[in-house]
Structure 1
Amino acid sequence: MGLSSSPKLGMWAATLVNVNVIIGAGIFLNASPLCKMAGGWGFLAYPIGLLILMPVILTISEMTIMRPSVGGLYANARDFLHPAAGFLGGWSYFLGKAISSALLSHTFVMFFHRRFAFLQIFPVTLLDTIFIFGLAGMNIAGVRLGGKVQWVFALIRLLPIGFVIFCGIAALFMGVESTVAWGDMTGLMDTLPLAIFALGSFEVTATIAHMIEDPAHTARKIIVTSVMIVVTAYLFFQLSISYILGNSLASSVEPVLRVSNFLFPGVPRLGLFMNNVVFFSMISGAFGLLANNCWNLFALANDQWLPYKSALTKINVMDSPWVSLLVEAGFASAALAFTRRQIPLQSMAVLAAVVAYLLVSLAALRASKTSKHPLYVGIISLAAVGSCVYIGWKCLERIMSVGLSVSFLFLFSIGIIAAIANKFVKGRRGPFFNAMH
């Protein structure tokens, strides 16, 4: 696609790209649940999440430095562990992103469902499915949010974040007395899946390393700097919105709107504008996830892991792998058929992504011997494995507590079963079995 001849990204340009990818709708989704679970201490979920995730971040940055031209979690797990491990990581990552797009789509659908009575006669699951396949159809038709349009959406998405932080500072100077509860911190660790969900996609640097100037010296700085910027913004956003709304934040469906109406009651249009930006960021997030994640399924099919390779790798005149897109939309819709609850969906999305992180951490542990700093890479890789196990356990704990472990296992196993079935497709042995021997 001509990427090798494209101008290289400098450190700060690449950092901005990373920040743009990481900052998403998760910050708005998390505001109320964090308050409900941890009260005023909810803002600490992000630095704690970063602390636990940091070994994984450093490990992926080291793999990016070692293999800037390869990139991707799938390739590293495949090359350093086993082809089957690469498939498992790639499939798990695909599933996690599909579930994430499902949650964002559902949140946007509910935004309209609350406002238009005629929509309330239809099952929400049906509306979700129509919307998700509608986004997939737009992708197939060639609608793109790349280039300047992507940056416009990114800047607009920052508006409500900056607005809430500004309101928090203003409320402090105005002497607003907060009613937020500063109780015990026992529920803080339960917020980990939410924090990790909001910090997802930091690994994008691994996939664009070949586009960065001197990745061997800048990749680590880019990943760490971008994540630190995002966590700082998230922390002050949650602290500000908790300070202004107090305990009522826990039950707020549209908290940004309430913040604006509380401080600027005479300017209702301001709140409506900010609130609309929040929910339209859900569209750009879901649209972007669907557009990018389908290529993960494309790659797995192209490497002959899945049956019906010729269908899954079909690209239309709009340069879109349309069958993979429709399959992805199907998985997103299936996830919502099992549950529409936010925290379980976030936990499933994070658990799936963490499987991919775990495999690349194990790959880095094995690759550490060939690194310029084998002891350092070995230590952080081992720590990353521990982080992944802990995060995965917290997610699994949440999934099991709401009775969705079988549902998640069902979705996860579809890819495994498909890979096994690939042995029998068209009477040939698939790579899953070839790799086993």
Structure 2
Amino acid sequence: MTPSGTALRRSLGVRDAVVVGLGSMVGAGVFAALGPAARAAGTGLLLGLAVAAVVAYCNAMSSARLAALYPASGGTYVYGRERLGPFWGYLAGWAFVVGKTASCAAMALTVGAYVWPGQAHAVAVTAVVALTAVNYGGIQKSAWLTRVIVAVVLAVLACVVVVCLASGRADTGRLGLGQGAGAGAGAGGVLQAAGLLFFAFAGYARIATLGEEVRNPARTIPRAVPLALGIALVVYACVAVAVLAVLGADRLGHAAAPLADAVRAAGVPGLVPVVRVGAAVAALGSLLALILGVSRTTLAMARDRHLPGALAAVHPRFQVPHRAEIAVGAVVAVLAATVDVRGAIGFSSFGVLAYYAVANACAWTLGPAPSARVLPALGMLGCATLAFALPTASVVTGAAVLAVGVVAYGVRRRFAPPAPRGSA
């Protein structure tokens, strides 16, 4: 049972849930992640994309099965608590909140870098404040704005793909098909690229964390998650092929703004400002959905007193976790004013992969049939492999922050009185 006064309104259908997931996936990642991934994998970029997609699919299906059974805000925090015990739920929630808070900062800084490079941090903080206010106004307003953002971004990406492939300067030989992982890349480079690209795929979690606000979740969530993931994969593959064909792996790997460089190389420099606007809009869409997801997991953890109980309040008029949203927005604003985007992305990837490892472990417990355990097993293996293939600094920092969360959990269990569970 969810405590009285903290229940959220179920108002999202399949279309809205898919749009929220797309707003998280088809966002700034497609504008920013291709360059670092190409630097790691060379011509094995497309193989890295395929690996990331396979791991994401396993995670998505595990998450969809669990979300249908436990349609409450919090995602894997709730699943881990119910299937594996309170510690594993807490660990998943901690990994999600800290990892996705870093993602919020990275997306905000991406907005700043495209809108006003000289004042990127100031623009980032402004974006965080504005979107926190939008989320405060209610989930339907957020879903409506996300729908507009997704439409704009898809239109811009379609223009990039058409311009690049129709320019006459595209060379399919640059795709590296049939050449293995590419010169100098190797399996380690492909896996690191997959880990970086997973950062952009991970948005389908937002559908699960909004489970308490979805109509008929047992039907809606299992449909919305694979739909959103499938659309995102097609978009990413088309963009990757188009940009690789024009720039090649080496130029792509060293491009600060890969899509803008691609349309310039294709002979259409007039499209560069449009791409810059599209990148900023995409990052705003990701930031909007990220703040939604982090605040809902914060709500769930506050209900169980893993975070301050005051954060569990739901606004009586807007029916949103307003205190959690304000707290998340404040933390993200501070990070956006101080951190570097590259470090934020690597740290976020490690935390999110840890979160999904717990989700797959939960899905493993749903049934004894071997066929039902194949995807969770592949998902757990994939998450562990990609997490430790990330740059060393990201692995060390991520592991240290998770360890801090474990220590905090142990201290609370030892010295704090037991708290009633807030939700089923």
Q: Under TM normalisation by the shorter chain, which class is it?
A: 0.7 to 0.9
1:323–1:189 CA distance, 2 compared to 1 (3 A): same
CA-CA distance at 1:105 after TM superposition: 1.0
Q: How much identity, in percent, do the aligned residues show?
A: 14
Q: Which residue of 1 aligns with 2:377?
A: 382
1:305–1:377 CA distance, 2 compared to 1 (3 A): same
Q: Would you say the 8 A contact 2:260–2:272 is kept in 1?
A: yes
1:414–1:109 CA distance, 2 compared to 1 (3 A): farther
State the distance in 1 between where 2:314 and 2:71 align. 25
State the distance in 2 between where 1:408 and 1:41 align. 26
CA-CA distance at 1:325 after TM superposition: 3.3
Q: Would you say the 8 A contact 1:108–1:283 is kept in 2?
A: yes
| Residue identity matched to 2:417 | R
1:347–1:430 CA distance, 2 compared to 1 (3 A): farther
Q: Which residue of 1 aligns with 2:296?
A: 295
Higher gyration radius (CA): 1
Aligned pairs for 1:227-242 within 5 A = 227-242=229-244
Q: Would you say the 8 A contact 1:14–1:212 is kept in 2?
A: no
CA-CA distance at 1:349 after TM superposition: 1.1
1:191–1:7 CA distance, 2 compared to 1 (3 A): closer
State the distance in 1 between where 2:207 and 2:376 align. 18
| Residue identity matched to 2:155 | L
Residues 75-119 of structure 1: per-residue CA shift (max 9 Å, x gap): 2111111022111111211112111111111122223453x4xx4
Q: Which residue of 2 aligns with 1:188?
A: 190
1:430–1:106 CA distance, 2 compared to 1 (3 A): farther
Q: Which residue of 1 aligns with 2:4?
A: none
Q: Would you say the 8 A contact 2:20–2:143 is kept in 1?
A: no
| Residue identity matched to 2:93 | G
Q: Which residue of 1 aligns with 2:145?
A: 149
Pair 1:110-2:113 in alignment: yes
Q: Which residue of 1 aligns with 2:226?
A: 224
State the distance in 1 between where 2:135 and 2:382 align. 38
Q: Would you say the 8 A contact 2:111–2:279 is kept in 1?
A: no
Q: Would you say the 8 A contact 2:63–2:205 is kept in 1?
A: yes
Q: Which runs of 5+ in 2 are unaligned?
A: 1-6, 177-181
| Residue identity matched to 1:310 | A
1:409–1:139 CA distance, 2 compared to 1 (3 A): farther
The equivalent position to 1:36 in structure 2, one of 22, 39, 62, is 39
Q: Would you say the 8 A contact 1:140–1:318 is kept in 2?
A: no
CA-CA distance at 1:288 after TM superposition: 2.9
Q: Which residue of 2 aligns with 1:347?
A: 346
Moved more, 275-284 or 174-183: 174-183
CA-CA distance at 1:166 after TM superposition: 0.7
Q: Which residue of 1 aligns with 2:79?
A: 76
SS at the partner of 1:110? Answer: helix
State the distance in 2 between where 1:20 and 1:162 align. 16
Residues 9-41 of structure 1: per-residue CA shift (max 9 Å, x gap): 4xx775555444432211111122223222333
1:136–1:279 CA distance, 2 compared to 1 (3 A): closer
CA-CA distance at 1:284 after TM superposition: 2.7
Q: Which residue of 2 aligns with 1:276?
A: 277
CA-CA distance at 1:222 after TM superposition: 4.4
The equivalent position to 2:91 in structure 1, one of 83, 88, 93, is 88
Q: Would you say the 8 A contact 1:305–1:430 is kept in 2?
A: no
Residues 138-181 of structure 1: per-residue CA shift (max 9 Å, x gap): 3576487524332111100112211121123202xx35557958
State the distance in 1 between where 2:207 and 2:336 align. 30
State the distance in 2 between where 1:421 and 1:18 align. 36
State the distance in 2 between where 1:259 and 1:15 align. 29
State the distance in 2 between where 1:64 and 1:294 align. 17
Q: Which residue of 1 aligns with 2:179?
A: none
1:388–1:410 CA distance, 2 compared to 1 (3 A): closer
Q: Would you say the 8 A contact 1:133–1:326 is kept in 2?
A: no
| Residue identity matched to 2:372 | V
1:336–1:99 CA distance, 2 compared to 1 (3 A): same
Q: Would you say the 8 A contact 1:260–1:271 is kept in 2?
A: yes
The equivalent position to 2:101 in structure 1, one of 98, 101, 108, is 98
Aligned pairs for 1:4-43 within 5 A = 9=14, 15=18, 18-43=21-46
State the distance in 2 between where 1:272 and 1:223 align. 33
CA-CA distance at 1:328 after TM superposition: 2.5
Task: Work out the number of aligned pairs and report it.
Answer: 403
| Residue identity matched to 2:302 | A
| Residue identity matched to 1:26 | G
Moved more, 243-252 or 218-227: 218-227
| Residue identity matched to 2:277 | N
| Residue identity matched to 2:241 | L
| Residue identity matched to 2:375 | I
| Residue identity matched to 1:60 | S
| Residue identity matched to 1:35 | A
1:387–1:258 CA distance, 2 compared to 1 (3 A): closer
Q: Would you say the 8 A contact 2:192–2:386 is kept in 1?
A: no
CA-CA distance at 1:301 after TM superposition: 1.0
State the distance in 2 between where 1:52 and 1:58 align. 10
State the distance in 1 between where 2:21 and 2:251 align. 33
Per the normalisation by structure 1, the TM-score is 0.78
Residues 369-390 of structure 1: per-residue CA shift (max 9 Å, x gap): 4xxxx32223332332222221
Aligned pairs for 1:44-55 within 5 A = 44-55=47-58
Q: Which runs of 5+ in 1 are unaligned?
A: none
Q: Which residue of 1 aligns with 2:366?
A: 367
Per the normalisation by structure 2, the TM-score is 0.80
The equivalent position to 1:429 in structure 2, one of 404, 417, 421, is 417
CA-CA distance at 1:42 after TM superposition: 1.6
